Structure 1
Amino acid sequence: MIKDTVTAFMDKHDLLQPDSTVLLAVSGGPDSMALLHFFTTIRRQWRLRLVAVSVDHGLRGQESRQDVAYVEEMCRQWEIEFVGTSIDVTTYKKQERFGTQFAARELRYRYFAEQMEHYQADYLVFGHHGDDQAETMLMQLVRTADSSSFSGMPVKRDFATGRIIRPFLCLTKEQLHDYCEHHGITPRIDPSNASDDYTRNYFRHNVLPLLKSKNSNLPATIQHLSESLQADEQYLQEEAKKMTENVVKFEENPKRATFEIDQFDSHASALQRRAFHLILNYLYEELPDNLSYVHEEDFFSLVANDKSNIQIDFPRHLKLEKAYNKLIFYFQTNEPKSHAFHEVLPVPGSVWLPDGASMKATYCNEISSQDEHTYYTLASRVALPLHVRTRRDGDRMRWSGLNGSKKVKDIFIDAKIPVRKRNSWPIVTDNNGEILWIVGLKKRDPITLEKNTSLIQLYFQEGNV
């Protein structure tokens, strides 16, 4: 009965191929011993090389060492290759400031990966069953506000040289205990499983029995839910990746991400949420522990905010800045530096600006071209020398047809220049302080060229910074 159920489950999910090298994670408990025995019954049919892998976490002294010795002895009796090790969880968790369970898992999986590489294995098999899946889903329900993290343990996933598979997710804990009893297997029992000190044990002893009293088929129901959620999530992730590739511009050195808000907002909210997390995964080498659903809410509030220029902070100096229709993610590791500069520009002559840009001034008698990087003025209408500087409080500019003058700040706003760029924007004035040119944005009065008229030509070359 159990063999047929598991075989059908493996076929449904394409979990195992013949002629494979299979590592079996075996602790000595009922689930893993049932797993070890089950694979001995199918190894000839599937032509499998089996290797049992057992880990002593060093948390229960002689007792946990005896668990590994028990697994080794059963492997000898059943003619299965065996490899085992001891790991120092206590020291590792103190060094890394991890909890016991997390530290044990980190070291255990590290060892599993090493053995996968050593044996060039195709599969690493765990004995997790339907009750384990139910516990996992319930813990995720309590801990997470992200639907993409609420899908339970995958039936299969890539790992090291092959895949992790869980062929017993179709079974219950009770079925595996019955299996051991039927085949005369006396598993080792970890006494820490009786304690409610660990979160999983609390759910196992107090929450799951209550739910199973309302639905005796709960593990199967939750496994079906898990598979459905994982399939949905895989599709949404694929669509979110396509969206991100089309909408978001990623940059390196330094890492940045930018998108046009109207383009981003035109996609379904389910894709927007996943695109947001894809952006964070790109920017952060490792996601900060204090990054939570609150930051996701802050992000969407920023996107929807009517203000044209606004900024919020994320962990590890990540800044999110809205500049009109653009949203920029960037890191600011140091205190912002002053971008102000003031350079005297002789005619003829040139000056270099802090960001690597340059401004060149020459005399000429004709206008050869007009674009956003060039400016012409009559030499007789300006007081020399010229000056290239950043804006100052109270700066105003005049031009013909304008009733009075206009604040430079308002010119920046009209041109939708992000706030962070305004303080470093080059402005050209004459020696009397009259603003002649806000580079690339606004020029003073156009000139009417007369014969034999002396002109000053300014040419702006952008920098690399």
Structure 2
Amino acid sequence: MLNQVRKTIADHSLLVQGDHLLVAVSGGADSVSLLQILARLADEYRLRLTAAHLNHGLRGAESQREEAFVRRLSAEKGIACICKTVDIGSLQRGKGRSLEEIGREERYRFLDEAAERCGAGKIATGHHRDDQAETVLMHLLRGSGPEGLRGILPIRAGRLIRPLLDVGRAEILEFLRLEGVPYMTDSSNLSPVFLRNRIRAELIPALTANYNPRLVAALCHTAGIIRGEDDYLQGVVRRIIEGWAIAPNAAEAVVPVAAFCGLHEALQGRIIKRLLETAVPSKSGIGYRHIEAVLALFRKSDGRCRSLDLPFGIRVEREGGLLRIQKEGERRASGRERKSSQPRFEYGVEIPATIHLTEIDRTIHLELIGKPTLREMKEEPRKAFMDYERMHPPLILRSAAPGERIDLFGLGGKKRLKEYFIDRKIPRPLRMKIPLLADSQSVVWIAGERISERVRVTKQTKRVLKAEMV
């Protein structure tokens, strides 16, 4: 068994010389064997060990005996021990979550805090091969995707390691017998209330006896295959998100709709899951229905502005060619930041003029010309031709103002600029980069887009202002 653990450590680069490990010790066979093995390997790897025990406060005197046992075992080995007691039952009340889920969350929070307290660079837990098989089967029964079916990882976030993952429960018990090391038995592990216990005590024995005598090995092998493929796809997702300039912990993620919709659906779901989980403090709780709800926003092709409120205070908005995912408590702040970061500008205009708008790096040419024919105007659709004598100086080139309206030529009446931009599916960040030519009364030209009805060229027009953005 010791050699198998050495191989697992080498295969997954779990340890380096001089590591300080925080060892999670519940007092059960798995964690006690982990502590014993790491103590045996301490000289070989020059390890410094600290034990950590969380008393869940669920089993009264039994929990107290386990904590006392872990303290005594650690002291016998000359290993420092950090203990803490929490009331999992109280923490669960009113949250609508299982004891298992709350317990797991509290355990890892405690381990992180204890590692920080003692200066340990890594945390070791006693998960083994049978735990792996149970986990894969449990996720399969729940309808999990690849991320669940890959099972327990040998190393997570470069810090949480599982040196026993390639050895089984029977090997662990035999190792402890030969070493003469005692351990405690958690009575809750025998309770049929918990799904994992029923899988361990009922389902796996039945499948092993009637279908595959090497079931545990087969499930672990499958998890390994899926883990390799999942690692590759996660890397693809990471590169795509980085390509969109979305920071790992950004208050807001902005996704280009066209680029997203061009991806394979297998990547689409993974991208949304990654972005939603980033917005959740615990990085968990995001389910299939949440991902599907966001994907449905991408599939809408009517160009309307739509939004979606998800659990954990996440808000998703689609407007034009962009989809935004915002965290709870940061929407207003990010909105203010976004508004303040928009390029605002204003330039006085004296005709003729060539004005470079440094804020958006665009140039506007304005000149007076003789009245062009209708054919000449149609041949240059990107240029605007306006009746100069219908304008009321002074003229200015500027960015849009909130609530602004324009009487657009050809659209039969006044319209808010915001509504026009939405109809044109122009993303919000780009709207403030579209210059407006305005006189003393109103906007007369949306650069590169449309002119006002008031300044359209008619039979009575004598002088024409030609405008172009380059």
Deviates more, 1:64-73 or 1:220-229: 220-229
2:204 is paired with a residue of what secondary structure? helix
Map 1:211-360; keep pairs closer than 5 Å: 211-213=207-209, 214-247=211-244, 255-261=252-258, 263-283=259-279, 289=285, 291-309=286-304, 311-315=306-310, 316=313, 318-323=315-320, 326-329=321-324
Q: CA deviation at 1:378?
A: 5.0
Cα 1:368–1:311 shift into 2, 3 Å? same
Deviation string 1:241-268 (CA, Å, 9 cap, x unpaired) is 222222466799973503141x333333
Aligned twin of 2:184: 188
Cα 1:304–1:134 shift into 2, 3 Å? same
Q: CA deviation at 1:281?
A: 4.2
CA distance, structure 2, for counterparts of residue 228 and residue 372 of structure 1: 58
CA contact 2:18–2:45 (8 Å) conserved in 1: yes
Map 1:38-437; keep pairs closer than 5 Å: 38-94=37-93, 98-143=97-142, 145-158=144-157, 163-213=159-209, 214-247=211-244, 255-261=252-258, 263-283=259-279, 289=285, 291-309=286-304, 311-315=306-310, 316=313, 318-323=315-320, 326-329=321-324, 366-369=351-354, 380-381=389-390, 390-391=404-405, 397-398=409-410, 415-417=424-426, 436-437=444-445
CA distance, structure 1, for counterparts of residue 172 and residue 140 of structure 2: 26
Q: CA deviation at 1:193?
A: 1.3
CA distance, structure 2, for counterparts of residue 288 and residue 52 of structure 1: 27
2:353 is paired with a residue of what secondary structure? coil
Instruction: Count residues in correspondence.
Output: 416
CA contact 1:429–1:437 (8 Å) conserved in 2: no
Aligned AA (1:441): E
Q: CA deviation at 1:127?
A: 1.7
CA distance, structure 1, for counterparts of residue 140 and residue 250 of structure 2: 38
Aligned AA (2:2): K
Aligned twin of 1:445: 456
Q: CA deviation at 1:361?
A: 8.4
Deviates more, 1:175-184 or 1:441-450: 441-450
CA contact 1:170–1:220 (8 Å) conserved in 2: no
CA distance, structure 2, for counterparts of residue 378 and residue 155 of structure 1: 73
Cα 1:412–1:105 shift into 2, 3 Å? closer
CA distance, structure 1, for counterparts of residue 248 and residue 150 of structure 2: 32
CA distance, structure 1, for counterparts of residue 428 and residue 175 of structure 2: 69
Deviation string 1:400-433 (CA, Å, 9 cap, x unpaired) is xxxxx757779868844469999xx9897998x9
Q: Report the TM-score, using the length of structure 2 for normalisation.
A: 0.71
CA distance, structure 2, for counterparts of residue 20 and residue 254 of structure 1: 35
Aligned twin of 1:344: none
CA distance, structure 2, for counterparts of residue 246 and residue 299 of structure 1: 20
CA contact 1:396–1:407 (8 Å) conserved in 2: yes
Unaligned runs of 5+ in 2: 333-341, 356-362, 369-385, 396-400
Deviates more, 1:236-245 or 1:8-17: 8-17
CA contact 1:302–1:322 (8 Å) conserved in 2: no
Q: CA deviation at 1:284?
A: 5.2
CA contact 2:257–2:298 (8 Å) conserved in 1: no
CA contact 1:22–1:49 (8 Å) conserved in 2: yes
CA distance, structure 1, for counterparts of residue 112 and residue 468 of structure 2: 60
Q: Give the RMSD, CA atoms, in angstroms.
A: 4.5
1:308 is paired with a residue of what secondary structure? coil
Deviates more, 1:141-150 or 1:22-31: 141-150
CA distance, structure 2, for counterparts of residue 54 and residue 254 of structure 1: 35
Aligned AA (2:68): A
CA distance, structure 1, for counterparts of residue 306 and residue 440 of structure 2: 35
Cα 1:114–1:292 shift into 2, 3 Å? closer
CA contact 2:319–2:422 (8 Å) conserved in 1: no
Aligned twin of 2:2: 3
CA distance, structure 1, for counterparts of residue 88 and residue 428 of structure 2: 50
Cα 1:72–1:288 shift into 2, 3 Å? closer
CA distance, structure 1, for counterparts of residue 456 and residue 248 of structure 2: 39
CA distance, structure 1, for counterparts of residue 120 and residue 308 of structure 2: 45
Deviates more, 1:366-375 or 1:126-135: 366-375
CA contact 1:158–1:164 (8 Å) conserved in 2: yes
Aligned twin of 1:31: 30
Q: CA deviation at 1:238?
A: 1.7
Aligned AA (2:324): F
Aligned AA (2:227): Q
Aligned twin of 1:346: none
CA distance, structure 1, for counterparts of residue 429 and residue 242 of structure 2: 26
Deviation string 1:23-67 (CA, Å, 9 cap, x unpaired) is 322222122222233334333333333333223222111221111
Q: CA deviation at 1:440?
A: 5.0
